[in-house]
Structure 1
Amino acid sequence: RYLRLTNRLIAQMKETLPAPAVSQLFGQIAEDLVSQYANDVKGLSMEARLDFVKDLLAQEGFTVEWEKKDDSYQIHEISCPYYQIGIAHPEVCTVDQTLISKMLALPVNRVQCILDGSAHCTYVVQQSKNK
């Protein structure tokens, strides 16, 4: 029932609001989460931030693993609580991508997406040269 309601709400938003406003709403959801936890990651190493993000996403219903590869980190979302909604409304992916980027204070690049047929979503974060 929640899935149907959520899909209807998002469909109504997309019919009523301009596309940039819908994107902004999803981004703001992530920003609100980030603002709740921003102080918790201050001064943490990248690995500690990654662990924090992993735990935070777990609280949101994701199963996440991360690994270091050469000069980057790969974040794998093994399961996604938004999958069923994302089928019709892929904009929902903005939430976790923005959350990851803001919590790590670095841009992230999605290189795999479960919605595109991949086994899971994978984000790549280039290690900062300054840290």
Structure 2
Amino acid sequence: MQKTRQRIIEYLKRHGQATVDELSEALDHLTAVTVRHHLDVLRREGLVAPPEIQHRRTPGRPKYVYRLTEKAEALFPHNVSTLTGHLLSEVKNLLDAQQIDVLFEAIAERMAESIPPGPEGEPMDARLERLVAYLNEQGYEAHWEPHPEGFVLYTSNCPYRGVSEEHEELCTMDMHYISRALGKIPRRLEHLMEGSFSCAYLIEATQPETV
């Protein structure tokens, strides 16, 4: 990221919010025009929220303050993967294999229920569009392509990376809710965890519906 914009993000993270004048002073007295330019770029990238009016307690013009978005918060280090890994390890120590399968299937069912339902008799390409939209909201960087045997769904990012390497149940969970969403059992062709550039799932056109 461009250095000045990185400094703006770091300042907003430390202080919670800031005006253009405050940012100008913090950035070695950059002009207000330059600061606004960088803020506009960050807003277009979804990292800074639109300015909010903050009324003064004393007479005078209201000031506009800028804050980071949730997307920007993801730029900073966090320990979620480590914590999640520890929690999953403890759960697996407490449950037997069958109970673990039931647990992850239940999670997959809940995730599948989050995908907006389509009309009865919906064609597979429309189902894939709905599924891809949901997966991309969850950070999978998904898309699909036609295939001689049907369709292939690609996910080029793993939201569980850092955890799924030790807990393959998460990959199985993905397979399960993809199956629930599409009404067909996918066959995995490629796997990020095995060094591929994406996970790829074949949805065979001739396969009977599961739902």
TM-score (norm 2): 0.57
The Cα of 1:129 is off from its aligned counterpart by 6.6
Pair 85,129 (structure 1): closer, same or farther in 2 beyond 3 Å: closer
**What percent identity do the matched residue pairs reach?**
27
2:128 counterpart (41, 50, 61): 50
1:96-115 alignment runs, 5 A limit: 96-115=174-193
Pair 22,128 (structure 1): closer, same or farther in 2 beyond 3 Å: same
Which runs of 5 or more structure 2 residues have no equivalent in the other structure? 1-78
Question: Is 1:127 aligned to 2:205, yes or no?
Answer: yes
Larger radius of gyration: 2
Return the structure number with greater strand share.
1
Residue by residue, what CA displacement relative to the aligned partner does 1:65-120 show, whole Å, maximum 9, x if unpaired?
11111122111111110121111111111222111111110111112111112121
Question: Is 1:13 aligned to 2:13, yes or no?
Answer: no
- Count of matched residue positions in the alignment of Structure 1 and Structure 2: 131
2:169 counterpart (66, 76, 91): 91
- Distance in 2 between the 1:7 and 1:21 partners? 18
Residue 40 of structure 1 aligns to a residue whose secondary structure is coil
The Cα of 1:27 is off from its aligned counterpart by 1.5
- Distance in 2 between the 1:21 and 1:47 partners? 34
Instruction: Please tell me whether the aligned partners of residues 72 and 124 of structure 1 are also in contact (alpha carbons under 8 angstroms).
Output: yes
- Distance in 1 between the 2:207 and 2:85 partners? 41
Q: Which residue of 2 aligns with 1:74?
A: 152
Residue 124 of structure 1 aligns to a residue whose secondary structure is strand
Q: Which residue of 2 aligns with 1:4?
A: 82
Instruction: Please tell me whether the aligned partners of residues 114 and 121 of structure 1 are also in contact (alpha carbons under 8 angstroms).
Output: yes
Residue 85 of structure 2 aligns to a residue whose secondary structure is helix
AA matched with 2:192: I
Return the structure number with greater helix share.
1
Question: Is 1:25 aligned to 2:69, yes or no?
Answer: no
Which runs of 5 or more structure 1 residues have no equivalent in the other structure? none
What is the alpha-carbon root mean square deviation over aligned residues? 1.9
AA matched with 1:100: I
Residue 57 of structure 1 aligns to a residue whose secondary structure is helix
Instruction: Please tell me whether the aligned partners of residues 155 and 198 of structure 2 are also in contact (alpha carbons under 8 angstroms).
Output: yes
- Distance in 1 between the 2:208 and 2:104 partners? 30
- Distance in 2 between the 1:41 and 1:7 partners? 38
TM-score (norm 1): 0.90
- Distance in 2 between the 1:73 and 1:43 partners? 17
